Amino acid sequence: MSNLLQTTGETAFSLLPLLRGVGLVLAIAALALFFKPLLVGIFRALVLVVHPRLSKDQLAARRNMRNAKVLQRMTNSSSGNASLTAELRAMAARS
């Protein structure tokens, strides 16, 4: 009988650190879940510090440059067809 009590006491004592660790993980998970909106906002702010967004003017300039390059590439590829080249140049003049 005393052997049974000793082994039960040792098992309970060895489970205490495990239960403490599980409780700590659960507490951290509960805090993270509770403060999730705050943590997401902080993460987004840090991303903007590292990689800021472009302004609308910069985005428009980038889009216009990309369109001009596409039209130039199309014009170069169709250099044998004069009517298509003229039509592409007219499209480029409108944009």
Distance CA 76, CA 68 (A): 12
For residue 62, the one-letter residue type is: R
Domain span at residue 5 reads 1-53
Question: CA-CA distances (angstroms) from residue 15 to 5, 22, 66?
Answer: 15, 11, 64
Whole-model pTM: value is: 0.46
For residue 56, the one-letter residue type is: K
CA angle 19, 22, 26 (to 5 degrees): 135
Q: For 31-56, what is the mean pLDDT? A: 95
- Is the domain of 47 the same as that of 93? no
Number of structural domains found in the chain: 2
- Is the domain of 59 the same as that of 47? no
pLDDT by residue (tens digit) across 13-28?
678 888 899 999 999 9
CA angle 37, 32, 30 (to 5 degrees): 125
- Is the domain of 3 the same as that of 49? yes
- Is the domain of 7 the same as that of 49? yes
Structure tokens at 92: 């480029």
pLDDT by residue (tens digit) across 44-54?
999 999 999 99
- Is the domain of 34 the same as that of 49? yes
